[in-house]
Amino acid sequence: MFRSRHIYILLAGLLNLGVGVYFTYWRERWRKVLQLVGSWLMIVATLMLIGAFFYEPMLEGLPRPLTLPGIVALVVGVFCHLFSGMRQSKDINKSVQPKVSGG
C-alpha cells in the first residue's frame, strides 16, 4: 500500500519550485554556503522520498527508514534558504544577477 508517500513527493516538488522561483546567489559567502547546502539537502531529500515511494510499501509494518530522514532533510534545507535571506540589506544590488545574453 502506498499510503501518503505520493503527497511527500508533491511537497518536495512544490518546495523545490518555490525556492527555485526566488533563488538568486548572494555575494556574502555565508549566505551562498547556506543556499548551496539548502539546495543540496532539498535535492537529496526529494530523491529519498521518491525512493521511499517504491521501497517502503514492501516492508512489514509501518517502518519508514527513508521517509523520516527525507522529510527532516527537506525541512532543514528550507530553513537554510530561509536563514540565508534573513536580515539582508535593502540594496537589491547585493545579489548576483545572472547575465542574459541578447540574441
Q: Is residue 101 part of a domain?
A: no
Average of per-residue pLDDT values in the chain:
87
Domain residues for the domain of 65 are 5-87
Residues 6+ apart with CB under 8 A from 36: none
32 with 95: CB under 8 angstroms?
no
Looking at the domain assignment, is residue 100 inside a domain?
no
Q: Is residue 102 part of a domain?
A: no
Residue 13 lies in a domain: yes
Query: Is residue 94 assigned to a domain?
Result: no
What percent of the chain lies above the pLDDT cut of 70? Answer: 82
> What residue type is 1 in one-letter code?
M
Mean pLDDT over 24-41 rounds to 93
Quote the CA–CA distance of 25 and 55 in Å, as a whole number: 36
Decide: pTM greater than 0.95: no
Number of domains in the chain: 1
Q: Which of 82, 21, 12 shows the shortest CA–CA distance to 45?
A: 12
41 in any annotated domain? yes
Could you tell me if residue 32 is inside a domain?
A: yes
pLDDT tens column, 60-87? 888 889 999 999 999 999 999 999 988 7
14 found inside a domain: yes
Residue 65 grid cell:
527508514
Q: Is the pLDDT of residue 101 over 80?
A: no
